[in-house]
Every structure is written in C-alpha cells, then in structure tokens.
C-alpha cells in the first residue's frame, strides 16, 4: 500500500473531525502504519479558519492520550476530492453537503465515519458543541470505535496490495 489518505469532515472542523483526525493519527502510529497513511480533517463551513480544536475537545482527547493541539481548522476544498482516498463525514447533513460538492468520479470515496464502528450501532457522530462533558466523551467513544475499524480496513488494504 502506498500512501492512503483519509479526510474527516464535520461542520466547523473544531470538534468532531479534529478529534477523529487526532485519534486516527495516534492509532496509525501505534500500529506501525504512520509511513503509509495520511490523515487530515476539514469542515464543510469556514466558521473557524486556522483555529485550534475546541478546548473541550482537546481536554477530553488529552485525558485519553490524544494530542489535538497541532491541528488547525480549515474548510474542505475542491482538491480534497482528488487528493484523498476516503472522505468520512460525521453526520448526514455534512455527508449531503460533501456529496453536493464532490465530482461524480469521486463520490465512491464518501462515507460516514460510523460505518466503521465495530461496537456502537449509531448512524452519526453527534455534534457535542452545545453539550456538556458527556457529549465530548460520547464523541470519543464513537471515534475510537470507528478508528479501530478503520485500522482493520487499512490492514486489509495493505494485505491486498502486498498479495
């Protein structure tokens, strides 16, 4: 497997998608795939350009060993559809927005992150922005589960490319 590129997308790129970005970066390194996988995140809206992740997202992620502090918010760009192999949205609304912008030849790259969950059966990662600490913890629970599923997906892709 050459470089495989994954982009996480939520609305503002300050809570859910940077959390997924930081968790998958950590797990990719942990599983020795850091040299093969590129991870990034973006928002469908340009609400917080160049801002760090929400302090609450950073705090809860740090309590589980994930450092989100280097990440900065950005809006999804047309070039992302060409560049990334897998574009994972956090919910139905953001999936619809990304589908509207995505050229037909790249629609197959679009999925919801929760499709990779192995233990949680939820269709979306809910936005914790207006919730308390439990909302941010729930996001981390879903993201960790989905990222474990993504690691299995990446291992499968690696096996296919090596055979």
**What is the SS3 assignment for 13?**
coil
From the candidates 80, 127, 145, 148, which is the catalytic residue?
127
From the candidates 10, 15, 117, 147, which is the catalytic residue?
10
Active site includes 117?
Answer: no
CA distance 99 to 145: 24
CA distance 80 to 42: 9
Active site includes 5?
Answer: no
Active site includes 67?
Answer: no
- Please report the DSSP string for 93-126 in residue order: HHHHHHHHHS-GGGGGGEEEGGGG-SS---SS--
SS3 content of the chain, % helix, strand, coil (to 5): 50, 15, 35
CA distance 128 to 68: 16
Sign of the four-CA dihedral 43, 46, 51, 55: negative
Q: Which residues are catalytic?
A: 10, 16, 127
């Amino acid at each position: 497997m050459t470089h495989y590129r994954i982009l996480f997308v939520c609305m503002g790129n300050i809570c859910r998608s940077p959390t997924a970005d930081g968790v998958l970066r950590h797990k990719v390194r942990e599983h020795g795939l850091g040299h093969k996988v590129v991870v990034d995140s973006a928002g469908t809206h340009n609400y917080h350009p160049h801002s760090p992740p929400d302090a609450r997202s950073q705090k809860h992620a740090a309590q589980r060993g994930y450092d989100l502090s280097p990440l900065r918010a950005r809006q999804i760009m047309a070039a992302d559809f060409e560049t990334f192999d897998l574009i994972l949205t956090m919910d139905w609304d953001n999936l619809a927005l990304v589908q509207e912008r995505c050229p037909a030849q790249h629609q197959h790259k679009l999925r919801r992150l929760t499709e990779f969950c192995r233990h949680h059966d939820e269709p979306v990662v809910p936005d914790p922005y207006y919730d308390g600490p439990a909302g941010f913890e729930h996001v981390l629970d879903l993201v960790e589960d989905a990222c474990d599923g993504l690691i299995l997906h990446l291992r499968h892709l690696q096996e296919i490319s090596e055979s």
